[in-house]
Chains A and B, each alone.
Chain A
Amino acid sequence: MSVWEYIKDKWVAICIGLLVCMLSAMFMLVMEVAMPVAVAVEVIFFAGFASMIGYDCFRKKTYYDELERTWEGLDEKTYLSEIIEEPGFYDGKVLYRLVKDNGKYLNDVIADQQREMMDYKEYVQTWVHEIKTPIAVERLLIENNRNPLTSSLEEEVGRIEGYVEQLLFYTKSGSLESDYLIQPVNLKSLVMEVIRRHSKMMVGAGVFPKMDNLDYEVLTDPKWMEFILGQILTNSVKYRDKKKRPFLFFTAEEEDGDMLRLTVADNGIGIPASDIPRVFTKGFTGENGRNLKRSTGMGLYLCRELCDKMEIPLDLQSRAGEGTELVLRLKRNRS
């Protein structure tokens, strides 16, 4: 609270005080009161007014300054109503009561929202769980009736499965609780599994996988990592350059300490330089996404989110027309 602003706010009271001093002085002059008496009365009047204003200013300034400091130091601003102290002056008490009530109201609203969000999340998770049964039935039906028609259906089922998986990981990524388990995993079999799971998509698009130097044990959650690599792979297939022979190259390189640099490179259409800074942003589709019209802007966002949770640095390099390279720095298992 600034003193100057306070004085500006109190100008009516201050004017009245000065007016009273002036009027009383004039009155005493007219009545020919002895000079020392008049001066004494004026001093008393003035001191009275000044101390009244000063005391009020001091009280409020102490209170509000303290309140502002508390606010600044608060990480969770909604807790203000819990921490705020009751002031000694009346108008402050009114404000205090309102802040308290408002806090209670806000907390109720937030709690309701959180409960709703939880219910929604739970429903989505149940839904994902439920939809896996019909997908499993479809897969079996296709397996038992192999022909060109079911072969094409299989590709679509694969896409549905991909979207369902993305949804599942999206509901997981936002929450505080995480169900990942870091464990030693063989990088080569992990990559092989990812390729196998997406083989239909890759063969259909004519994207050929290459692997080099992947025989390492790394520390990660296999399900999460399979999902992350699956998203990267799906992007490479989606944004392949039809004029070239598209490939996807997985290689690993040892780095200082216990780190391993896993690079997933493609020779696809690449990403325009202006879009690169925002590729990990939620919902960002960029120029490629707009041209292809089948981008959700979720893939790389989820990769970054999940990598952050597992503390795996994830970087992207790309040149339009040449290809894209995703780099993951994984921790090696040395035990």
Chain B
Amino acid sequence: MERILIVEDEEKIREELRTALEKKGYTCTLIEEFEDAAGQIVREAPDLVLLDLNLPVQDGFYICQEVRKQLDVPIIVVTSSSSDMDELMSLNLGADDYITKPFNMHILLAHISTVLHRAYGRKATVTLTHKGLTLDVLKGRISYQGRETDLTKNELGILRMLMENAGQIISRTDLICHLWEMEEFVEDSTLTVNINRLRRKLADIGLEDYLLTKRGLGYMV
């Protein structure tokens, strides 16, 4: 799995970003001492760098430039400044992409996978497993005890979000929002239909009562 190095001086963002990315299946390394951030990045040689601009000791621009001299690693600049100037500077100094805080996690993930794909040419296999059910996100296929079936885009989106947050109740609003993120502007009634179809598909491969309804709250697996 791809190793992502996070250069961010705000400890909480760093830690939470790691949790979020590890949940999506990436391995994360954090930089906690900023004396020689550029040197550390080069020594770690990660697959991708998430770089904040506002850092103690050396700023992001400098680090970006230094890393570029020695390493051809993809760099995504993550910053709270939304000025065009910063964006331009970053891209000129060799950053591959630019995203502003506060970012939407889905957007950040989309940027990460695009940059990785561009840099290494292969699409990572993303699979999620929970209670014996395996979901291959890129193929949109679920399998349980040797039995397989394909999911539609909406079903995949719903199941993916539930499995990524296994054991947690996800509200209908969050599920609809998640589908909207995927540019599928569904209505409330469509969600009900999709959930029912998904249940039937799960039952077909031998999983009854996998997707639970929590009355008044939402769904969970």
Listed in ascending order, the chain A residues whose CB lies under 8 Å from chain B are 129-130, 132-133, 135-141, 143-148, 151, 154, 161, 179, 181, 192, 195-197, 199-200, 202-204, 206, 208-209, 223
Residues on the B chain within 8 Å of A129, using CB = 80-81
Task: Select from chain B the residue with minimum beta-carbon distance to A157.
Answer: B102
B171, A199: Cβ atoms closer than 8 Å? no
CB distance from A176 to the nearest CB of B (A): 17
**Total of A-B residue pairs, C-beta within 8 Å:** 88
Complex partner residue of A209 from B170, B171, B185, CB under 8 angstroms: B185
Task: Select from chain B the residue with minimum beta-carbon distance to A180.
Answer: B84
The answer to whether B31 has its CB under 8 Å from any CB of chain A is: no
Given contacts A136-B102, A195-B180, A199-B180, contact A151 B174 (CB under 8 A): yes
The answer to whether B128 has its CB under 8 Å from any CB of chain A is: no
Given contacts A147-B169, A148-B217, A161-B102, contact A196 B10 (CB under 8 A): no
Interface members, chain B 176-203 (any A CB < 8 Å): 176-177, 180-181, 183, 185, 187-188
Given A133-B10, A140-B105, A148-B169, 7 further pairs, Cβ under 8 A = A137-B10, A137-B16, A143-B105, A147-B169, A151-B171, A151-B174, A223-B82
Cα–Cα, bound, A140→B28 (Å): 15
Cα–Cα, bound, A138→B174 (Å): 16
B12, A137: Cβ atoms closer than 8 Å? yes
Complex partner residue of B170 from A130, A146, A204, CB under 8 angstroms: A146
Complex partner residue of B13 from A130, A133, A192, A204, CB under 8 angstroms: A133
Task: Select from chain A the residue with minimum beta-carbon distance to B220.
Answer: A147
Task: Select from chain A the residue with minimum beta-carbon distance to B11.
Answer: A137
Complex partner residue of A143 from B20, B82, B173, B183, CB under 8 angstroms: B20
The answer to whether B117 has its CB under 8 Å from any CB of chain A is: no
Cα–Cα, bound, A266→B195 (Å): 29
B185, A195: Cβ atoms closer than 8 Å? yes
Cα–Cα, bound, A197→B100 (Å): 13
CB distance from A213 to the nearest CB of B (A): 16
The answer to whether B145 has its CB under 8 Å from any CB of chain A is: no
A200, B16: Cβ atoms closer than 8 Å? no
Task: Select from chain A the residue with minimum beta-carbon distance to B181.
Answer: A196
Residues on the B chain within 8 Å of A135, using CB = 101-102
CB distance from B176 to the nearest CB of A (A): 5
Interface members, chain B 193-221 (any A CB < 8 Å): 217-218
Task: Kindly list the 6 A-B residue pairs having the minimum CB-CB distance in the complex, ordered from nearest.
Answer: A140-B16, A136-B102, A132-B80, A199-B180, A136-B101, A135-B102
Residues on the A chain within 8 Å of B185, using CB = 195, 208-209
Task: Select from chain A the residue with minimum beta-carbon distance to B83.
Answer: A179
Residues on the B chain within 8 Å of A208, using CB = 185, 187
Residues on the B chain within 8 Å of A206, using CB = 188
CB distance from B103 to the nearest CB of A (A): 7
A146, B13: Cβ atoms closer than 8 Å? no
Cα–Cα, bound, A96→B174 (Å): 72
Task: Select from chain B the residue with minimum beta-carbon distance to A143.
Answer: B105
Cross-chain pairs A/B with CB under 8 angstroms, 24 sampled: A133-B10, A133-B80, A136-B80, A137-B13, A138-B102, A139-B104, A140-B17, A140-B19, A140-B20, A143-B16, A147-B168, A147-B169, A148-B171, A151-B171, A179-B83, A195-B180, A196-B104, A197-B104, A199-B181, A200-B173, A202-B180, A206-B188, A208-B187, A223-B82
